[in-house]
Amino acid sequence: MAVETILKQPAEKRRHSLRVAALSYPAAIDMVTVQPRGLVPGAPPLVATGLLDAGSVLVDLAGGGDGERYLVSVRIHNAAGEIGEAELDVAVIEGEWAMPDGGTGYLSISDFVDRVGLPEVIAATDATGEGRIDRAMLVSVLTDAQAIVDTYFASRYLVPLADPPIIVKKIVADLARVALYPRGAPEGIADQAKASTKLLERIQMGQVQIPVASPPAAAVSENPILIAPGRRAYPDGLRGY
């Protein structure tokens, strides 16, 4: 039986549609169970409830602890005694993070995983082989990627960006993704990072404009020159003209 893996944040309430092995309907849910892997001792439980809907089970998920993974098992049956089963692997991780100066990250961990794919993120960050996502590593590469982006933008835009557009999020994702491969990224991933770096260079030179971004604030001199209004003085010989 193939097990689907999804990402969930601890405070998030999420509904996921889970396909169950084909059987005739109507049917009823026998049980929905949750088993933590034990990656995080003392992690809060994940609560899962199920609802049948046209051949699928809608699984409502709540709770869970940051860094823990949970196996959700569902079993249904019908009047003919047929039994259908399915399993769902839920990886719980806190998706929001902040820059060292307290600024908001342009791309949440959840958004990064959606773009890259959970299996790749787990494979690239799991140093212990337990299947646990290394959140600290993800925050580190996202922080570095955003800092690089802001360095290119600083001469033309007010950084950090208040509302980064999709193209900026893509650039951050590309730079962070390639950084997950310190010994060399696969060719396609490396090519995307190079393309994003070239795009940053074009933005810095003014060849490409970023939508919904503000220019940097005008610099104010520490020693301004003050000009005061006054009367115009003429030589005595010109008085009266």
pTM of the model: 0.80
CA 208 to CA 171: how far, in whole Å? 14
108 in Cβ contact with 97 (< 8 Å): yes
Average pLDDT of span 6-33 = 88
Domain assignment present for 186: yes
Range of the domain at 177: 109-204
Task: Mark whether 78 and 140 lie in a shared domain.
Answer: no
Task: Mark whether 73 and 128 lie in a shared domain.
Answer: no
Domain assignment present for 97: no
Domain assignment present for 48: yes
Question: Cα–Cα–Cα angle for 116, 117, 118, nearest 5°?
Answer: 130
The pLDDT tens digits for 120-150 are 999 999 888 888 889 999 999 999 999 999 9
pLDDT score of 241 more than 80: no
Q: What is the CATH number of the domain that holds 47?
A: 2.60.40
pLDDT score of 12 more than 80: yes
From 66, 92, 118, give the residue that closes a domain.
92
Give the three-state DSSP class for 189: helix
The total number of structural domains in the chain stands at 2
98 in Cβ contact with 105 (< 8 Å): yes
Task: Mark whether 176 and 140 lie in a shared domain.
Answer: yes
CA 54 to CA 52: how far, in whole Å? 7
User: pLDDT band at 220, cuts 50/70/90?
Assistant: very low
Domain assignment present for 151: yes
Domain assignment present for 155: yes
Domain assignment present for 174: yes
From 92, 117, 147, give the residue that closes a domain.
92
The pLDDT tens digits for 140-199 are 999 999 999 999 999 899 999 999 999 999 999 999 999 999 899 999 999 999 999 999
